[in-house]
């Protein structure tokens, strides 16, 4: 995998001209990418038509549709990614980790899968985490630590723990489905010089560390600009996403930078160093046996053997 470019700069141009016109270098070429592109632009076009002219207080604003649009964009693709996670503690201690993530995204006909392996630093290399969505859309989580030479299941309580000293909960790694959350429209607002729709999300039928989540959904792009996590009526964490650091991958607008901040005064900065979208990844990549006996190189080799890329990297950019 190589490092990809193509950031959404400048952000001031209308999204309709960008996407619905399929201008310039962004036009997809392969049949698969064309299919994904048609689906993406049709959803975007429908939302734009639906949202146009809406004002605060007008009945019928479909908060669930806005959430569904963003979640499909963020979680609805298979990929292999290299991610840098840098945590700056309240005392100023600075600690950086690098992970490789193989993920199978949200689809109606299949369940989410994610395999995370630490690449750096040396003392964490080889540790792996496997997340498996259940048919009821809750998650099983397994961890492998070379020092113990075995896989163990994480309990529901442990899913609320911090991910190896970062401001990220294990739960934050899980892909989301709009059906898992009740959506309550709060207001139209401005954030980071962009128009956003503010929506309150509450977990519905699935366990969560959070009582509610407040999301700032971009009015044009299918992304979130901010999330606030609430426990016992107190904000315990914020996640900020930089809209100027965003790339197009097979028709999906993929954020490249986000910052997690906790109430303890620390922050964790996440950078997506590499992203390659793949054709549907096979089930046998995401097993406890693969977690225990595999490695990051094994995962790369199996991805190359079993799944073809659909990322139109050469077509990306403005």
- Which pLDDT score is estimated for 61? 62
DSSP state for residue 309 in the 8-state scheme = B
> What SS3 state is found at 215?
strand
**Residues in CB range of 240: below 8 A, 6 or more apart:** 225, 226, 258, 259, 261
pLDDT score at 306: 83
Partners of 231 in the beta sheet? 234
Q: 312, 2 in Cβ contact below 8 A?
A: no
DSSP letter at 245?
S
- Predicted pLDDT of residue 142: 93
C-alpha closest to that of 124 among 106, 105, 144, 104: 144
The predicted pLDDT at position 155 comes to 75
Burial (CB < 10 A; 0-12, 13-18, 19+), residue 104, is buried
| Phi/psi at 134 (5° precision) | -90, 165
Angle of helix 31-51 relative to helix 63-75, nearest 10 degrees, comes to 160
Residue 284: what pLDDT?
87
pLDDT (0 to 100) of residue 31:
44
Task: Round to whole Å and give the CA distance between 267 and 93.
Answer: 11
E strands, the chain, are 78-88, 94-104, 113-120, 128-133, 139-145, 150-153, 181-191, 194-203, 212-218, 224-231, 234-241, 246-249, 252-255, 257-262, 267-278
Q: What is the pLDDT along the chain (318 residues), one digit of tens a residue?
A: 443 333 443 333 333 333 333 333 334 444 444 333 333 333 333 333 333 334 344 444 699 999 999 999 999 899 999 999 999 988 888 999 999 999 988 776 678 899 999 999 999 999 999 988 887 767 888 999 998 889 999 876 666 677 888 888 878 887 888 888 999 999 999 999 999 999 999 998 777 889 999 999 999 999 999 999 999 889 999 999 999 999 998 889 999 999 999 877 899 999 999 999 998 888 889 999 999 998 999 998 988 888 888 865 433 432
Query: Which pLDDT does position 312 carry in this prediction?
Result: 56
pLDDT on residue 225: 97
CB-based contact 312:137 (threshold 8 Å):
no
Q: What is the dihedral of CA 313, 251, 185, 168, to 10 degrees?
A: -40
CA gyration radius, the chain: 19
Q: What is the pLDDT of residue 159?
A: 63
Residue 160 and residue 169 in contact, taking contact as beta carbons nearer than 8 Å? yes
pLDDT of residue 177: 85
Q: Are 86 and 237 in contact (CB under 8 A)?
A: no
Give yes or no for a contact between 256 and 7, defined as CB atoms under 8 angstroms apart.
Answer: yes
| CB-based contacts of 147, cutoff 8 Å, min separation 6 | none
Query: What is the rounded distance in angstroms from the CA atom of residue 137 to the CA atom of residue 108?
Result: 11
Is residue 210 within 8 Å of residue 159, measured between CB atoms? Answer: no
DSSP H helices, 164-309, are 288-293, 296-306
Q: What is the pLDDT, as a whole number, of residue 109? A: 66
Q: What angle do CA 43, 270, 121 make, to 5 degrees?
A: 140
């Amino acid at each position: 995998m190589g490092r990809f470019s193509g950031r959404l700069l400048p952000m001031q141009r209308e999204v309709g001209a960008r996407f619905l016109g399929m201008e310039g270098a962004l036009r997809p070429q392969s049949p698969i990418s064309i299919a994904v592109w048609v689906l993406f632009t049709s959803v975007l076009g429908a939302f734009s038509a639906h949202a146009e002219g809406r004002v605060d207080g007008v009945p019928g604003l479909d908060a669930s549709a806005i959430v569904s649009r963003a979640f499909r964009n963020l979680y609805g693709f298979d990929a292999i990614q290299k991610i840098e996670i840098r945590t700056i503690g309240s005392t100023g201690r600075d600690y950086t980790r690098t992970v490789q993530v193989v993920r199978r995204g949200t689809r109606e006909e299949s369940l989410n899968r994610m395999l995370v392996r630490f690449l750096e630093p040396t003392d964490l290399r080889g540790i792996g985490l496997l997340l498996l969505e259940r048919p009821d859309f809750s998650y099983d989580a397994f961890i492998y630590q070379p020092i113990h030479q075995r896989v163990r299941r994480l309990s529901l309580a442990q899913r609320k723990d911090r991910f190896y000293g970062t401001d990220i909960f294990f739960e934050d790694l899980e892909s989301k489905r709009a059906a898992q959350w009740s959506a309550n429209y709060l207001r139209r607002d401005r954030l980071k010089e962009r128009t956003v729709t503010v929506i309150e999300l509450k977990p519905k039928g699935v366990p969560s560390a959070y009582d509610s989540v407040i999301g700032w959904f971009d009015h044009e792009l299918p992304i979130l600009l901010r999330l606030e996590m609430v426990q016992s009526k107190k904000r315990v964490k914020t996640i900020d996403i930089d809209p100027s650091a965003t790339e197009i991958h097979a028709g999906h607008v993929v954020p490249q930078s986000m910052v997690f901040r906790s109430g303890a005064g620390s922050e964790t900065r996440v950078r997506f160093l590499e992203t390659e979208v793949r054709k549907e990844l096979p089930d046998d990549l995401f097993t406890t046996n693969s977690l225990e006996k595999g490695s990051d190189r094994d995962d790369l080799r199996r991805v190359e053997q079993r799944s073809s890329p659909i990322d139109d990297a050469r077509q990306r950019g403005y």
